Amino acid sequence: MPEIQVYKGNLTSKERVRRAFQFEKADRVPINYFTNPGVNGRLMEHLGLEKNDYAGLYNRLGVDFRGIGAGYNGPALHVSKREDRTVNSMYGFVHRWIENESGGYWDYCDFPLEFASVEDVADWAMPDPDNFNYDSLEAQINANESYALHLGGAGLACIINTAGFFRGMEQVLVDLITDDEAGLLLIDRFIGQQLATLERELAAIDKTAKKQNKKLNELLDFVYMGEDLGTQNTPLISMQILKKHILPRQKPFFDLCKYYDLPTLLHTCGSSGWAYEEYIDLGLSGVETLQPEAKDMNPEYLKKTFGGRLAFHGCISTAGPLAYGTAEETAENVRATLEIMMPTNAYMLSPTHQIQDNTPVENIVAMYRTAHEYGRYI
């Protein structure tokens, strides 16, 4: 099978992604990549790369995006008390390893604040925004200046999913319906810490920009946030709850991005288009993951309903031909998606989620080979 021929084009990755957010035609569609660690290893081996050569892998795939951030350098706040569990040292999330026939993954479990009182939540250790290495951001920017750089990720400003790591999804939904004081306090605590950290990250980047006689948004390309909003077929919450509990807590993040004139990309799993108008009003620039099998999330619907108002990132399903089809079927799926979405001038090709362990390496190669071959505007 032919390997991936990366189309270099006449633009840098940074220029390419900026054009997508501005609905301007580029040389080719921007390309992104998310996988499980097991897939990374198999793909690196297939492409003849050394183990853990992520820079080499990204270059071989033609990935245009790089995430940056201030790493936590404070004390460990939580420790594991069981050999069959791991604990996130910053927040106290608990994980266990789940085996399956094609590999495995770390799943959230035990939910340490599921039955917590207001006092328990108030006393739970959270990372101090002062204990992050903001000075490291300048070096990260300088090392990746030609790439599209973002702060954050799917967990930034994400209320429902993140609260679920602490309390379990069922309890979080009950919290939102019943205005549970402990559940809402938990949300406000971790959202407040995230916002304060983001403010400091942006201030540090702004300082670097001023040193270079530039504006912050010349160095940083967008802020990446998330909120899981749908099942495969329905909204996960009501519009009433969205407006009462979710949007008001996320608005400060959008306002901060507006202040620095930064685009925003929102990770939204499942059937999520029902909420996009509300987010557009907040200042949202683009959406992902765009699971095409979910209700009203197929490329045709998204293009018709939100084209020219939102940039699109995703659409290549990790539960479709990529995982269960042949290389030829994967290539056809990618071609069809490109044909629909490229006329928006705002499409960024990406898997909808992390590519899972059951995905054939040949299909992944076919996906990226096809993206470079058929995703060209010139």
Residue 289: asked if its preceding bond is cis (omega within 30°), the reply is: yes
Label residue 2 by pLDDT band (50, 70, 90): low
In a domain, 117, yes or no: no
- Report the pLDDT value the prediction gives residue 50, as an integer from 0 to 100: 95
Q: Is 143 domain-assigned? A: yes
**What's the structural domain count of the chain?**
1
Whether 262 is in a domain gets the answer: yes
Average pLDDT in the 145-171 region? 98
Helix (H) or strand (E) holding 45: helix 37-46
Q: Is residue 84 part of a domain?
A: no
Contacts of 288 (CB under 8 A, 6+ apart): 265, 266, 267, 268, 312, 313, 314, 348, 350, 352
Q: What is the pLDDT of residues 215-259, one digit of tens each?
A: 999 999 999 999 989 999 999 999 999 999 999 999 999 999 999
Question: Sign of dihedral through CA atoms 277, 282, 285, 287?
Answer: negative
Count CB neighbours of 148 within 10 A: 25
Looking at residue 194, what is its pLDDT? 98
What tens digit of pLDDT does each residue of 267-285 get? 999 999 999 999 999 999 9
pLDDT score of 184: 98
Could you tell me if residue 106 is inside a domain? no
- In b/e form, how buried is each residue of 21-51, taking b as 16+ CB within 10 angstroms? beeeebbbbbbbbbbbebbbebbbeebebee
Residue 120 falls within a domain, yes or no?
A: no
In CATH, what number is assigned to the domain containing residue 223?
3.20.20.210
Report the chain's mean pLDDT, rounded to a whole number.
97
Domain around 284: 13-74+127-374
Q: Is residue 269 part of a domain?
A: yes
1 band by pLDDT with thresholds 50, 70 and 90: very low
Q: Is 198:151 a contact under the CB 8 Å cutoff? A: yes
pTM: 0.97
Distance, in Å, from the CA atom of 366 to the CA atom of 326, rounded to the nearest integer, reads 9
Judge whether 330 lies within some domain.
yes
pLDDT in tens, 292-331: 999 999 999 999 999 999 999 999 999 999 999 999 999 9
Confidence of residue 81 (pLDDT cuts 50, 70, 90): confident
